Amino acid sequence: MNAKRRFSRCDGLRKFESMIPTEAAYIAAIIDGEGCITAYHHERSYCFPRINIGMTSDLPRKLWEEWGGAFCVAVQPEGCKAKNIWDIAKQNRILALIIKVKPYLRVKAKQADIALKMLEILNVKTPDWKEELNRLGENMHKLNKRGTRE
């Protein structure tokens, strides 16, 4: 069973804009290793960017408490530890976080570029904005597909 238990959302005690370079580099490394910058489809006719970090340690909860967003615990099959997930879904928070961590991203830099383009499209909606978001979402999913290499 992979049910999730969601905890409350909060805006965090600190804003991403206040993040110092060493914090940005640290979070970028976590995103590169244990995180995901993705395009999310949920009861909408278009994709939007989302960032999450999931691991069995308590770090996602600590990041959530400090920086806000959402936190949930994904219950894993018997014999496996529960997975803690820190999730950022609000557009303005994703933008602020990516701006801070992008210079330090190595593995997920292309996904960050796509997420920034998606946010730009969401702010300036052209006649074909939904199709453009979905196209970028498909590109994001291809980059995130396990086992693929360039």
Residue 63 lies in a domain: yes
Sign of CA dihedral 1, 71, 46, 101: negative
Q: Is residue 41 part of a domain?
A: yes
Say if residue 149's pLDDT is above 70. Answer: no
Strand order in the sheet with 83-88: 4-6, 70-74, 83-88, 48-55, 35-40
Instruction: Give the structural domain span for 31.
Output: 4-144
Residue 127, in any domain of the structure: yes
Query: Mind listing the pLDDT tens digit for each residue in 57-75?
Result: 999 999 998 898 999 998 8
pLDDT for residue 5: 59
Q: Is residue 150 part of a domain?
A: no
Percent of the chain at pLDDT above 70? Answer: 88
pLDDT band (50, 70, 90) for residue 12: low
How would residue 54 be classed by pLDDT, with cut points 50, 70 and 90?
Answer: very high
H helices within 41-128, ranges in order?
59-67, 91-101, 109-123
Q: How confident is the model at residue 1 (pLDDT cuts 50, 70, 90)?
A: very low
d(CA 54, CA 35): 6
Distance from C-alpha of 46 to C-alpha of 2, rounded to nearest angstrom: 25
72 domain-assigned: yes
Confidence of residue 8 (pLDDT cuts 50, 70, 90): low
Q: What is the pLDDT of residues 97-110, one digit of tens each?
A: 999 999 999 999 99
149 inside domain = no
Does residue 38 or residue 148 have the better pLDDT? 38
Residue 70 lies in a domain: yes
The CATH number that applies at residue 114 is 3.10.28.10
Which tokens in the block code for residue 87?
Answer: 């999730």
Identify whether 44 is part of a domain: yes
Q: How many distinct structural domains can be found in the chain?
A: 1
